Amino acid sequence: MKTPEEWMRDFEAKIADAQAKAAAVQEGLAQAGGSASSNDGTITVSVAPNGALTGLDLTADAMRKSHGQLSAEILEIARKAQRGAAVKVAETFAEVEGEGSETYRMITEYLPPPEEEEQPKAPGYAFNEEYEERAATAPPPPPVRRPAPRPSDDDDDFGGDSIFKKQ
């Protein structure tokens, strides 16, 4: 049986260990934000450890892209930055609790899937690529114009009763 002094020392050691782990987690999370850039360097997205967007930098060259291409690239880069931040958060908990811990398992269970690496395009004719780009960013078709509804004439309304009544 432990003496009260031994029990108190063990208790204080557990508290000190918990405080050290909490400090390590806090420090790791403070540095766990993520950042990603486009291949051409025209777009950079930064995120906080929780994946919230904290920065978006666009160069003048980025603004020359079509609106469809620009928005698609921003979303793709944001996903990469968010996954990077999530991986850093998981690594922080792995260092503190170990990869076998329940906390680590819960965090890695919700990691976004890795982005598939973009495969280099096979050599082809330039006009095919131009056509694909134009088709992807083609303007939407004009709205369909429907004829205005006819005003209802009370003269045409027979009250819904059939004129062929059985008598």
CATH number of this structure's domain 4-115: 3.30.1310.10
Indicate the SS3 state at residue 47: strand
Q: For residue 37, what are the β-bridge partners?
A: 44
Q: For residue 55, what are the β-bridge partners?
A: 46
Q: How many other CB atoms are there within 10 angstroms of residue 74's CB atom?
A: 17
Domains in the chain: boundaries: 4-115
- pLDDT digits (tens), the chain, 167 positions: 889 899 999 999 999 988 988 888 888 888 888 899 999 999 999 999 888 999 999 999 999 999 999 999 999 999 999 988 888 888 888 888 888 888 788 888 877 777 665 444 444 444 455 555 555 565 566 666 666 666 555 555 555 566 666 65
pTM value is 0.58
Task: Copy the structure tokens of residue 144.
Answer: 């369909």
Helix ranges, 58-101 (H): 67-97
What is the spatial distance between Cα 113 and Cα 76, in angstroms, rounded to a whole number? 13
Whether 51 and 64 have beta carbons less than 8 Å apart is answered as no
Q: Closest Cα partner for 110 from 50, 63, 159, 64?
A: 50
What is the spatial distance between Cα 148 and Cα 90, in angstroms, rounded to a whole number? 59
